[in-house]
Amino acid sequence: MKFQVFKDGKPAEEFTLAAAYLFGADSIPLHTTEKIKFKNGIIDCKRKSCDAAGLALLWPVEGFGRFLLPTTRLPERKEPYILNVELARARLMQITLKREDWAIFEEENGIAEMANEATHLFVEALKHIKDVSRASQLADESLKKALIFSEKLASKHADVYMEARCRKKGLGRHSLGCTIDPSLMGEERYRKWLLEMFGFVTIPVSWRQIEPERGRFDCTVIDRCIELLAGRRLAICVGPLLCFEESQLPRWLPRGKWEFEKIRECAYEFVSQMVTRYSRHIHAWRLISGMNACNYFGFNFEQIIEMTRTACLAARSADTKSRKIVEILLPWGEYYAQDRETVPPLVYADMVIQSGITFDSFGLKIEIGKNEIGRQVRDLLEISSRLDYFAAVAKPVHITGVAVPSAVAIGDQECPVAGMWRRPWDQTTQSEWLDKMYRIALGKPFVNSVTYSSLADTDDLEIRESGLLARDFAPKEAFLTLAKMQKMILNR
């Protein structure tokens, strides 16, 4: 498959090919990422199968941002597709589907007119399809109007449903949460803002740090956090207890040395020790995180499911009252295009349920603004649509991590490779994005809570400058925005 790329009606001489991957049925990525190349104005996608496929990539939209956008699934053909046209086609199709799903057909006149203009421009692009330059320009205009309409559509749907949830008391003090940095809990200003703002706090856990040697546990950091937080009308969450990223695993558990059964035994012992020690203080456990995407030991599919079952069994044997959460990372599943030993997120969610594993909720992380698999910027309709996929998994959902930067950082967080929402990231943009994102998430009746990933900026944040507080613990605009939302929820 080939795609012509046009910029301002002319074949693109240069194009930053960021986050590109092909996908097939059910939006599942195909293992062809390394075979997508740009040269002489054309993106060439080589693959083994002749089945219809779509291309997703980071795409600039003048005056609106830079987003990871997909085409529709297209049949293979000799002549190249016009990428500008296919991106506009896919977005208009998504708008049509979501308007039907959400039963939103009549919008305010100004908004409805924008949708009609986007459609009209796309039809004109098809009429001029043989004049590729003109067709690409019309498609660019269509896509821009379609994206603006998309976000207004997503925001309207969110506002209606969040208002209904608030009216019915479906949201409360524990709906908004935050993950703390244990090393900052000794700072009085840090604790002040945390306790004044949030009713739901997550204490992160690193298996590597807590069990530096087999059978020797150092829980000093967690003990200190529990001591400072217990008895303060807080719902406390701890985790993830297990995460099979190399950086989270004990050094005494190297790859290639231990059989699966031995690794499972070690994992069971660790979860059991942690849950037993803190069960009387904890309201929720993030038991296992990212088994769909983080597979350092190369577990096969059956072993991935069995490790998930092990974490849930260990926790339930030690504590039957608290909520047990299985966390899914990177909910769009781009990682699957590069790693065959992983599992697409919805496939993993479905198999965990079908396997009869006993747990209470799924957790999802949505952290954007970095040139890393699954973290490029997406528009609000795409985020809302992806959350809707999890409405069918028959379990409540907690957004266990949200992060977006408040400043442009060099390197892997620069806009050409990480994306941009409306304008380069600053405190105002972070605040506006979070306001809309939280309304979208909390407007979903199956989403029980949203937890922000980091209260304050530090050097250790995975997405730099993404805290709600600056390094001197001064509140950013985003913190004040969430405070207003918390007040609104509590006063309904």
Tokens 């993106």 -> residue:
43
- Judge residue 175's burial from the number of C-beta atoms within 10 Å of its C-beta, 0-12 exposed, 13-18 middle, 19 or more buried: buried
Taking the whole predicted model, whether its pTM rises above 0.85 is answered as: yes
CB 93 within 8 A of CB 85: no
* Neighbour tally for 188: CB within 10 Å: 7
SS3 state at 289: strand
- Backbone φ and ψ for 339, nearest 5 degrees, come out as -130, 105
Per-residue pLDDT of the chain (492 residues; tens, 9 = 90+): 899 999 999 999 999 888 999 999 889 999 866 689 999 999 999 887 788 999 999 999 998 999 999 999 999 999 999 999 999 999 999 999 999 999 887 666 567 788 899 999 999 999 999 999 999 999 999 999 999 999 999 999 999 999 988 888 888 889 999 999 999 999 999 999 999 999 999 999 999 999 999 999 999 999 999 999 988 889 999 999 999 999 999 999 988 888 999 999 999 999 999 999 999 999 999 999 999 999 999 999 999 999 999 999 999 999 989 999 999 999 999 999 988 889 999 999 999 999 999 999 999 999 999 999 999 999 999 999 999 999 988 899 999 999 999 999 889 999 999 999 999 999 999 999 999 999 999 999 999 999 999 999 999 999 999 999 999 999 999 999 999 999 988 886
Token pair, residue 65, equals: 């941002």
pLDDT for res 231? 80
Q: Where are the alpha helices (DSSP H) in 336-426?
A: 345-354, 380-389, 415-418
Q: How far is 145 from 122, CA to CA, in rounded Å?
A: 10
**Residue 424, preceding peptide bond in cis (omega within 30° of 0):** no
Q: What is the pLDDT of residue 88?
A: 98
Fold observed for domain 162-491: TIM Barrel (3.20.20)
Burial of 412 from C-beta contacts in 10 A (0-12 / 13-18 / 19+): middle
Supply the angle between the helices 380-389 and 132-167 in degrees, to the nearest 10: 60
Kindly give the pairing relationship between strand 36-39 and strand 42-45.
antiparallel
Instruction: Tell me the C-alpha distance between 256 and 279, whole Å.
Output: 34
Tokens 């925005």 -> residue: 481
CA–CA gap between residue 492 and residue 249 (Å, rounded): 44
Angle of the 188-197 helix axis to the 477-491 helix axis, nearest 10: 40
The residue extents of the domains of the chain are 2-161, 162-491
Label residue 225 exposed, middle or buried (CB < 10 Å: 0-12, 13-18, 19+).
buried
Q: What sign for the dihedral angle of Cα 258, 351, 378, 10?
A: positive
pLDDT given for residue 35 in this prediction: 84
Report how far residue 481's alpha carbon sits from residue 427's, in angstroms, rounded to the nearest whole number. 11
Q: What pLDDT does 177 receive?
A: 96
